[in-house]
Amino acid sequence: MTFRQKLGLLAGASIVAFSSSAFADSTVRVTIAEYSKGTGPYFQEAAKAFEAANPDVKIQIEVVPWDSLQQKLTTDISAGANADLSIIGTRWLLDYVSEGIVAPLDEHIKPEFKARFIDTFLTPSVMNGKVYGLPIAASARAMYYNKDIFAKAGISAPPATWADFKTDAEKIKKLGSETYGFGLQGKEIETDVYFYYGMWSNGGEIVKDGKSGLDSKAAIETAKLYKSFIDGGLTQPGVTSYSREDVQNLFKQGKVATVITAPFLSGQIKTEAPKLNYGVAPIPAGPNGDKGTYGVTDSIVLFENSKNKEAAWKFLDFIFTAEQRTKFDKIEGFLPVNAEEAKDPYFADNADLKVFTSLLPNARFAPVIPGWEDIAKTTSNAVQKIYLGQGEAEATLKEAAAKINATLK
């Protein structure tokens, strides 16, 4: 064989190698967003267990970092190369539904299956009367407070109202060490939500009658309240450089006395700051007793163009059994979405989690509106301007509200 012939053969072989990567027909591909280092291994294990019971189906788990999930889904869908199932933020679901990209699940859902869920968590994925996703992850927000710092400042209980909270924060400031009463998030994902906590307490809403609530009296007062915390030195300095993880870290280090965040912080504290003496309390109420917390779910959806809908559904049915859900939520520190699972002593007897579940009746989920990310971004930009003192509260919020109203149309 001459050199040239060999070369030709090699080229031919590599083309064969290229084209052999097509997916087998009975394979169900699942795009998984990585919540923690336990996410990938959990799903791999679940897939194996499922395959053992259903030898005719193969599950292929494709783990994607959260930050890249939107980019990955966009490119995948644009080329029609998306998986059969994927985790997405429920707040994006409407955009997927209105483009006809995800399939309704109702034909598969038997009453027995529906009865597994706690209603609060299933409703956000229901649109136009149809179920378009199942709540793979659920959480809510509450206020973590550092009992030792509170005690040192002579405060006996977590603040019931924002007015109490401000007095408490001032007492903590008087301690003189570099400790701050209010851990305020001002950067990246959920900067807007951190602002809504106060806004809800003041009786405001994100969207009311199809219009942004950002120019309401409640929103403006909240902005002024937060700004007074910042100006008074009651928050950590430079709030616009602290993302949610950063503020949580400050809390673990005892540098801020409070942080409003999700149940998974309890698990992190257990391994990273086991000596921290903390409690979990509801988010403070407003002057009229209004309260609110943020409820979030992520959904797992079935794509309309999936060729394996039956097999994919079987897998969904499997991972939403009480046994699988319990395993997953324990690993991730999420709230149980499954009524059976919630009875597990791990959840039922957990003091921290009880606070979170008790707040659920007041939980606001992201409203069903198109372009949620656009609105979140506009809101975050506006509150960052206010935190930095680059814009006056009322004018900045009114401008943002006008922009959001244009998006909502």
Partner 1 sequence: MMNRKLKRSLLFWLCLSPIIVVILFPYAVMTITSLKSATEVLNPTWWPEELHWQNFSEMWQTSGVGSALANSLYVSTLSTALTIIVSIPAAYALSRYEFAGRNAYRQFLLVSQMLSPIVLVIGLFRLVANAGMIDNLNVLVIIYTGFNIAFCVWMLQSYFSTIPRDLEEAAWMEGANRWRTLRSVFLPLAVPAMVVTAIFTFINAWNEFVIALTMLRKEENYTLPIRVLSLVAGRYTVDWHYVMAAAFVASVPVAILFAWLQRYLVRGLSIGAVK
Partner 2 sequence: MQRATAPYFLILPSFLLAAAIILWPLKEIVSLSLHDVNRFGILRDFVGLEHFRVLFADPDFIAATWRTLIWTACVVLGTLIVSVPIALILNEDFYGRGIARILIMLPWAISLTMTAVVWRWALNGESGMLNSALRDLGVIGSNIQWLAEASTAFPMQILIGILVSVPFTVTIFLGGLSSVPEDLYEAAATEGAGRWDQFRLITLPLLRPFINIAFVLNTIYVFNSFPIIWVTTQGGPANSTHILVTYLYELGFRLGRLGDAAAISLIMFAILLVFTLIYVRLAMREEKA
How far is residue 311's CA from residue 57's CA, in Å, rounded to a whole number? 7
How far is residue 164's CA from residue 150's CA, in Å, rounded to a whole number? 13
Contact between residue 143 and residue 297 where contact means Cβ atoms under 8 Å apart = no
388 binds, among partner 2, partner 1, none (CB under 5 to 8 A by kind): partner 2
Question: H or E segment at 146?
Answer: strand 142-146
236 binds, among partner 1, partner 2, none (CB under 5 to 8 A by kind): partner 2
How far is residue 393's CA from residue 357's CA, in Å, rounded to a whole number? 34
**Which residues, in sequence order, are CB contacts of 156 under 8 Å at separation 6+?**
150
Candidates 72-80, 98-106, 208-216, 281-289 — which segment interacts with partner 1 by CB under 8 A?
72-80
Candidates 68-76, 146-154, 211-219, 225-233 — which segment interacts with partner 1 by CB under 8 A?
68-76
- Tell me: does residue 308 bind partner 2 (CB under 8 A): no
Strands 293-302 and 134-140: antiparallel
63 binds, among partner 2, partner 1, none (CB under 5 to 8 A by kind): partner 1
For residue 21, give Cα distances in angstroms to 16, 17, 28, 73: 9, 7, 15, 20
Residue numbers 326-345 binding partner 1 by CB under 8 A? 332-333
- Tell me: does residue 64 bind partner 1 (CB under 8 A): yes
Closest contact distance (angstroms) between CB of 283 and partner 1 is 19
Contact between residue 393 and residue 226 where contact means Cβ atoms under 8 Å apart = no
- Whichever of 236 and 248 has its CB closer to partner 1, that residue is 248
| Of 201, 151, 199, 210, nearest in space to 175 by CA | 151
How far is residue 202's CA from residue 285's CA, in Å, rounded to a whole number? 8
Closest contact distance (angstroms) between CB of 136 and partner 1 is 14
Closest contact distance (angstroms) between CB of 161 and partner 2 is 28
Contact between residue 378 and residue 404 where contact means Cβ atoms under 8 Å apart = yes
- Tell me: does residue 233 bind partner 2 (CB under 8 A): no
- Tell me: does residue 231 bind partner 2 (CB under 8 A): no
- Tell me: does residue 287 bind partner 2 (CB under 8 A): no
Closest contact distance (angstroms) between CB of 249 and partner 1 is 5
Q: Which of 177, 241, 288, 358 binds partner 2 (CB under 8 A)?
A: 241
- Tell me: does residue 255 bind partner 2 (CB under 8 A): yes
Residue numbers 7-36 binding partner 1 by CB under 8 A? 14, 17-19, 21-22, 29, 33-36
DSSP 310-363: HHHHHHHHHHTSHHHHHHHHHHHTPPP-BHHHHTSHHHHT-HHHHHHHHHGGGE
**Which residues, in sequence order, are CB contacts of 44 under 8 Å at separation 6+?**
61
- Tell me: does residue 249 bind partner 2 (CB under 8 A): yes
| Of 132, 87, 137, 113, nearest in space to 295 by CA | 137
The DSSP code for 180 is: B
How far is residue 46's CA from residue 38's CA, in Å, rounded to a whole number? 12
Q: Which of 240, 268, 305, 321 binds partner 1 (CB under 8 A)?
A: 268
Closest contact distance (angstroms) between CB of 382 and partner 2 is 8
Q: Which of 45, 99, 272, 310 binds partner 2 (CB under 8 A)?
A: 99
Site residues (vs partner 1, CB under 8 A)? 14, 17-19, 21-22, 29, 33-37, 40, 44, 60-69, 71-72, 74-76, 78-81, 189, 245, 248-249, 252-253, 262, 264, 268, 271-274, 332-333
Site residues (vs partner 2, CB under 8 A)? 70-71, 74-75, 77-79, 95, 99, 101, 178, 186-188, 236-242, 246, 249-250, 253, 255, 371, 373-374, 377, 380-382, 384-385, 387-388, 390
